[in-house]
Amino acid sequence: MLFFSVALAVARRQVYRVFTKLSFFLPSLFPVLFFLAFAGGLTRVGEVPGFDFPAGYEAFQFVWVLLQAVTFGGAFTGFAIAGDFESGFARRLLLAAHRREGIILGYILASLVRVTFTGLLVAVSAYLVGMQVLGGGVDLFGLVGLALLLNFSATLFATGIALRLRTQQASPLIQTPLFLMLFLAPVFVPMPLLEGWIEAVAAVNPLTFLLEAGRSLIIGEPAGVWFAYGVGAALALVLLGWALTGLRRAERSGS
């Protein structure tokens, strides 16, 4: 019971900060700008020979922007954790929390709330610019599930780094791997159109599986969805260990 009260208290504060402080809130809008820039400015990429995506380029790009939004939602949560340690506020949480794992759950819940808001904003923007969705309710539910699973993993990854470094200097170390993972994937064209080293890297990039599965769901032709969930779940499991060992490190440091 105390575990959940700690988690809810941490989550409530984090959500409150995001939605009441402009500097914390603004990054939530970036994915909308990404979507408008990529889907708007690169629409003719969809006319490249071999580019076969029945729902159109907006829907193709929406899935990537959605996954990008949830990934960076996790990164921003990591920045917040690092900031709490740097300012000393984390001591209040560590001192009061009966079960300290509840602190991590709290940050994860806050991250989920944040990306739900951002995801909705991106979805509304996409509908406004005429995105077609060919998948049904179950497909969309599957897409949302994939996005939330990715957010969970990204938050755990960022949490692990933030808890190890406990300073804002953790930010580039959180951001860079996530940025590489996002862009070393079939971002602008489908996987079959990639060539050379980028194709080789994208083929083993875990994000590719989630992205391709997400795109198959939005056009209502699910392919590789269970495998993508498996990859997402495996990532989440490994990164849960990463975050928990980070918490143990932070506890040992006396932060």
Partner 1 sequence: MAGSNGIEVEDLVREFKGGLRAVDGVSLRVCEGEIYGFLGPNGAGKSTTVLMLTTLLPITAGTATVAGFDVARQGPLVRSAIGAALQEAALDPYLTGTEHVRLQAALHGMPRKEGRRRGDELLERVGLVEAAGRKVGGYSGGMKRRLDLALALLHGPEVLFLDEPTTGLDPQSRQALWEEVSRLATDEGVTVFLTTQYLEEADALADRIGIIDDGKIVAEDTPEALKAQIGRPSVEAVPQDPAELESLGDVLGRFGSPVAASSGAVAVRLERGAGELAEVVRALDGAGVGVSSLRLDAPTLDDVFLEKTGRSLEGESEDAAEETPA
Residue from 22, 26, 50, 95 touching partner 1 (CB under 8 A): that is 95
Which residue's CB is nearer to partner 1, number 17 or number 201? Answer: 17
Residue from 19, 21, 52, 120 touching partner 1 (CB under 8 A): that is 21
Per DSSP, 44 falls in state: G
Which residue's CB is nearer to partner 1, number 1 or number 128? Answer: 1
Residue from 19, 89, 141, 226 touching partner 1 (CB under 8 A): that is 89
Least distance in angstroms from the C-beta of 19 to partner 1: 11
How many Å apart are CA 39 and CA 45, to the nearest integer?
9
**Residue 198 structure tokens:** 């980028």
Dihedral in degrees, nearest 10, Cα atoms 174, 218, 139, 107: 20
Q: Enumerate residues 99-118 that contact partner 1 by CB under 8 A.
A: 99
Least distance in angstroms from the C-beta of 173 to partner 1: 22
Contacts of 36 (CB under 8 A, 6+ apart): 125, 129
Of 12-20, 107-115, 164-172, 174-182: span binding partner 1 (CB under 8 A): 12-20
**225-253 and 101-128 are packed helices; what angle lies between their axes, rounded to 10 degrees?**
140
Using the Cα atoms of residue 43, residue 48, residue 140 and residue 159 in order, give the sign of their dihedral. negative
- By the criterion CB under 8 A, which residues form the site for partner 1? 1-2, 5-6, 8-10, 12-13, 16-17, 20-21, 87-99, 251-255
